[in-house]
Amino acid sequence: MNAIVVYGATGHTGRFVVEELLRQNLPTAVSGRNAAALTAQWGDLDVRPAAVDDPQALDLALKNAAAVINAAGPFATTADPIIDAAARAGIPYVDVAAELEANVSTFARQSALPVIPAMAFYGGLGDLLTTAALGERTSADEVQVAYGLSSWHPTPGTRAAGQVSHDRRNGQRVRFSGGSLQYHQDQPVQEDWTFPDPLGRRRVIAEFTMADVITIPTHIAVPEVRTYMTLEAAGDLANSDTPAPAAVDEQGRSDQTFVVDVRVRTGGEERRATATGQDIYAISAPLAVGAVRRILAGETRSSGVASAGAMFHAVDFLKDLPLTLDLP
């Protein structure tokens, strides 16, 4: 197999992605803007520096590659040029973008090759859980995705991407209602959400809108998709003094724990699917790498630009992840 190229390999999530590829014994090459940083971090690997505004350098970085995983935000800047380069190279593209506007732009593209945006904790995991909860159904009346994060220590990349999204929508908030994205200036509303034990009843920010509102409706006919965030985690993100994640184990994960609790309502019936794990950035690595591995093995259910739930068998994919699952 030719190498899988990780663009943004020196970033926080990018490092997890590279380590996951190596753990799975997959041929790996690293790329990004900063040649010196790439060499310092990954000098024993195939280093292929390239700036996103240099198509020739990107072509060289993706030459003879099997696929590319884009872990470099802001994705408003990196997604389109790397997707274009992947198309020229004739290889699949996967990213870990949680920027709503970048996700919308990518899903609007046409591609004969596999292109999977938001293949990460936000966007990918909730989509897989929703698809698993639905079983063979392809429609629902409402999908709710609640994030029970013990804390949220955002990386500099998360903060930069969030600012880009904020600026692109002129500070407006977003919801998915009535079958479409709606931009609004309503004030955030708090509610109670009862997570599975041991998390239990927690205060959440309602319509704390994440990439799931983009990924899920691309293949499920649903008029309402709502996402929720625990109040403590939302406060961490809003506080500019909250430090970046700190590693507490040999895998480089932080002590952050999470519960993703999905409720799908259809015709008066509610189905629930839940995943529990550690470190939202770390879990994005097996999601992205698992996507590429399945694409290269031909284990796909769709083609072109697609979300995780449309492209893969959701239950099988989820069971391969380092998560504790409660599925229907």
pLDDT bracket for residue 312 (50, 70, 90):
very high
Instruction: Find tokens 């030719």 and name the residue.
Output: 2
Model pLDDT, residue 12? 97
Residue 246 lies in domain: 124-280
Q: What is the pLDDT at residue 159?
A: 92
Residue 164 has pLDDT above 90, yes or no: no
Per-residue pLDDT, averaged over 117-136, amounts to 97
State how far the Cα of 222 lies from the Cα of 178, in Å rounded to an integer: 9
Lowest model confidence (mean pLDDT) among 118-122, 238-242, 312-316: 238-242
Q: What is the CATH number of the domain that holds 297?
A: 3.40.50.720
Burial grade of 187 (CB within 10 A; 0-12, 13-18, 19 or more): exposed
129 in a domain, yes or no?
Answer: yes
Whether residue 322 is contained in a domain is answered as no
Residue 210 has pLDDT above 90, yes or no: yes
Q: Are residues 206 and 298 in the same domain?
A: no
pLDDT on residue 20: 98
Q: In the prediction, which pLDDT does 121 show?
A: 98
pLDDT band at 120 (very low <50, low <70, confident <90, very high): very high
- The reply to whether 111 and 148 lie within a common domain is no
Q: Kindly state the percentage of the chain with pLDDT values over 90.
A: 94
Q: Do 297 and 156 belong to one domain?
A: no
Long-range residue pairs from 45-54, CB within 8 A, at least 24 positions apart, any chain: 45/18, 46/3, 48/5, 50/7, 52/77, 52/78, 52/81, 52/82, 53/81
pLDDT tier for residue 34 given thresholds of 50, 70 and 90: very high
Q: What one-character-per-residue DSSP string does 180-215 give? A: EEEEE-PPPEEEEEEPSTTT-EEEEEET---THHHH
Say whether both 172 and 275 belong to one domain.
Answer: yes
SS3 179: coil
Which residue in 44, 125, 11, 92 sits closest to 293, CA to CA? 92
For residues 131 and 309, is the Cβ–Cβ distance under 8 A? yes
Give me the amino acid identity at 119. Answer: M
The pTM for the full model equals 0.97
Same structural domain for residues 250 and 201? yes
Mean pLDDT of 134-162: 95
Residue 166 pLDDT greater than 90, yes or no:
no
Handedness of CA 73, 91, 107, 131 (dihedral sign): negative
**For position 161, what pLDDT does the model report?**
85
- The mean pLDDT value for 122-133 works out to 98
Query: E strand or H helix at 36, and its extent?
Result: helix 35-42
**Both 270 and 136 in a single domain?**
yes
pLDDT (mean) for 122-130: 98
Distance CA 247, CA 241 (A): 18
Q: What is the mean pLDDT of residues 127-143?
A: 97
Any domain includes 64 = yes
Average pLDDT over residues 285-314: 97
Is 107 part of a structural domain of the chain?
yes
Residues 188 and 66 in one domain: no
253 in any annotated domain? yes
Residue 327 lies in a domain: no
171 pLDDT more than 90:
no
328 found inside a domain? no
The structural domain count of the chain equals 2
pLDDT at 18 over 90: yes
Residue 169's pLDDT is 86
| Percentage of residues in the chain having pLDDT higher than 70 | 100
What is the reported pLDDT for 110?
A: 95
Enumerate residues 6+ apart whose C-beta is below 8 A from 251: 19, 282
pLDDT of residue 162: 86
- As a whole number, mean pLDDT of residues 132-145 equals 97
Are 23 and 84 within one domain? yes
Check whether 260 has a pLDDT greater than 90.
yes
Q: Are residues 19 and 97 in the same domain?
A: yes
pLDDT above 90 (res 168): no
Q: What integer best gives the mean pLDDT of the chain?
A: 96
Query: What distance in Å separates the CA atoms of residue 44 and residue 327, rounded to the nearest whole number?
Result: 41
Q: Are residues 231 and 290 in the same domain?
A: no
Judge whether 213 lies within some domain. Answer: yes
Q: Are residues 233 and 88 in the same domain?
A: no
Q: Residue 213's pLDDT is what?
A: 98
Give the model's pLDDT for residue 198. 84
- Domain identity same for 34 and 173: no
pLDDT band at 296 (very low <50, low <70, confident <90, very high): very high
Which residues, 6+ apart, have CB-to-CB distance to 151 below 8 Å? Answer: 232, 233, 236, 256
Contact 8, 73 (CB under 8 A): yes
The CATH number that applies at residue 234 is 3.30.360
Place of tokens 């609007």: 108
